[in-house]
């Protein structure tokens, strides 16, 4: 039988491959994979997945900052709110049963998988006829109009992301990116870069809470995170550009649904 460190590194390579093809949201598949192949609970798997999330999203955030497409103030509001709520999620997870956490994660995987599949069937909408968004950029200055509805929307998004990050170890990009697309008129590269930057910062709060509680299995977490990051960088460079987005969305949707079934069969039945 292979040592857990080797198994962890192999699993990280798989997650890195998925991250490269599907984006940061693919990190939510790390927890079902870790729980299935290693003798750990969802609570133990959460910080391991978060470390990989942090490393992967940090790279994307740095690239976005270099290109100047990260919306700084939006990122800070999302991240600040999320970082405040993340420790509460970690604390609740400590006192929750593995079955309860599994039920929540299965539900999220099902929702995200079905939503991703539906998006593959939707045509690109005509944004010129779309209703006004809560958060709107001034076309002349490229600055954001900070209305009350915009601020409330970003705070709600950041709070939910932070709480789920701490509770389940999911990155939160699957929450932030759709929310920004719905509530702002940011272009897609800016949405992605801002979501990655906020997710990276929120992940640090959850990881810090786990470090404070001494709940990270470092001998599993480090090989997993480093192999995931390396695999993601290699696949992103040589394979990802050759695969259509529609295909990767379908693959991600199928993987989410399969992971939900696998996790349900292992922890709920």
**Using one digit for the tens of pLDDT, what is the confidence trace for 213-244?**
899 999 999 999 999 999 988 988 887 777 88
In this structure, are residues 52 and 216 in contact, taking their beta carbons and an 8 Å threshold? no
d(CA 121, CA 129): 20
- Give the start-to-end residue ranges of the domains of the chain: 4-119+144-267
pLDDT value at position 22?
74
Write out pLDDT tens, residues 78-135: 999 999 999 999 999 999 999 999 999 999 999 999 988 887 776 444 444 556 678 8
Which of 141-177 are b and which e, b meaning 16 or more Cβ less than 10 Å from the residue's Cβ? eeebeeeeebeebbeebbbbbbbbbbbbbbbbbbbbb
The residue ranking higher by pLDDT, 160 or 267, is: 160
pLDDT value at position 214?
92
pLDDT value at position 57?
86
φ, ψ of residue 144 in degrees (nearest 5): -90, 135
d(CA 205, CA 120): 33
Which of 55-72 are b and which e, b meaning 16 or more Cβ less than 10 Å from the residue's Cβ? bbbbbbbeebeeeebbbe
Alpha helix locations (H) across 68-125? 72-94, 98-120
CA 264 to chain centre: 21
d(CA 53, CA 16): 10
In this prediction, residue 269 has a pLDDT band, given cuts at 50, 70 and 90, of low
Write out pLDDT tens, residues 126-180: 444 556 678 888 777 778 888 899 999 999 999 999 999 999 998 888 899 889 9
In this structure, are residues 226 and 12 in contact, taking their beta carbons and an 8 Å threshold? yes
Q: How far is residue 264 from each of residues 37, 156, 192, 258, measured CA to CA in Å? A: 15, 29, 30, 10
Which of 200-238 are b and which e, b meaning 16 or more Cβ less than 10 Å from the residue's Cβ? bbbbbbbbebbeeeeebbeebbbbbbbbbbebbeebbee
The residue ranking higher by pLDDT, 178 or 22, is: 178
CA 121 to chain centre: 23
pLDDT value at position 35?
92
Instruction: Return the closest-CA partner of residue 58 out of 19, 22, 91.
Output: 19
What pTM, to 2 d.p., does this model score?
0.87
Compute the Cα dihedral for 144, 146, 150, 153 and give only its sign: positive
Which percentage of the chain shows pLDDT scores above 70? 94
pLDDT value at position 125?
46
Write out pLDDT tens, residues 26-52: 778 999 999 999 999 999 999 999 999
In this prediction, residue 66 has a pLDDT band, given cuts at 50, 70 and 90, of very high
pLDDT value at position 127?
46
What radius of gyration, in Å, describes the C-alpha atoms of the chain?
18
| Mean pLDDT, residues 7-25 | 85
Write out pLDDT tens, residues 195-218: 989 999 999 999 999 999 899 999
Write out pLDDT tens, residues 182-194: 889 888 888 888 9
């Amino acid at each position: 039988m292979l040592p857990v460190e080797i198994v962890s590194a192999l699993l990280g390579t798989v997650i890195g491959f998925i991250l490269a093809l599907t984006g940061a949201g693919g990190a939510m598949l790390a927890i079902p994979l870790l729980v299935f192949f290693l003798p750990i609970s969802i609570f133990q798997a959460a910080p391991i997945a978060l470390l990989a999330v942090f490393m992967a999203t940090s790279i994307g955030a740095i690239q976005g900052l270099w290109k100047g497409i990260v919306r700084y103030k939006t990122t800070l509001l999302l991240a600040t709110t999320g970082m405040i709520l993340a420790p509460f999620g970690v604390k609740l997870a400590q006192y929750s049963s593995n079955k309860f956490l599994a039920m929540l994660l299965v539900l999220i995987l099902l929702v995200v998988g079905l939503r991703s599949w539906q998006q593959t069937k939707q045509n690109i909408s005509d944004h010129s006829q779309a209703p006004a968004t809560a958060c709107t950029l001034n076309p002349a200055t490229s600055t954001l109009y900070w209305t009350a509805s915009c601020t409330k929307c970003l705070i709600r998004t950041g709070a939910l992301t932070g709480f789920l990050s701490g509770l389940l170890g999911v990155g939160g990009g699957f929450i932030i990116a759709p929310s920004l697309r719905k509530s702002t008129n940011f272009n897609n590269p800016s949405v992605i870069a801002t979501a990655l930057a906020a997710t990276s910062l929120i992940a640090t709060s959850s990881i810090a809470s786990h470090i404070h509680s001494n709940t990270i299995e470092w001998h599993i977490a480090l090989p997993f995170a480093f192999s995931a990051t390396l695999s993601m960088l290699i696949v992103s460079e040589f394979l990802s550009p050759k695969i259509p987005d529609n295909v990767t969305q379908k693959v991600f949707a199928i993987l989410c649904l399969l992971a939900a079934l696998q996790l349900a069969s292992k922890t709920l039945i």
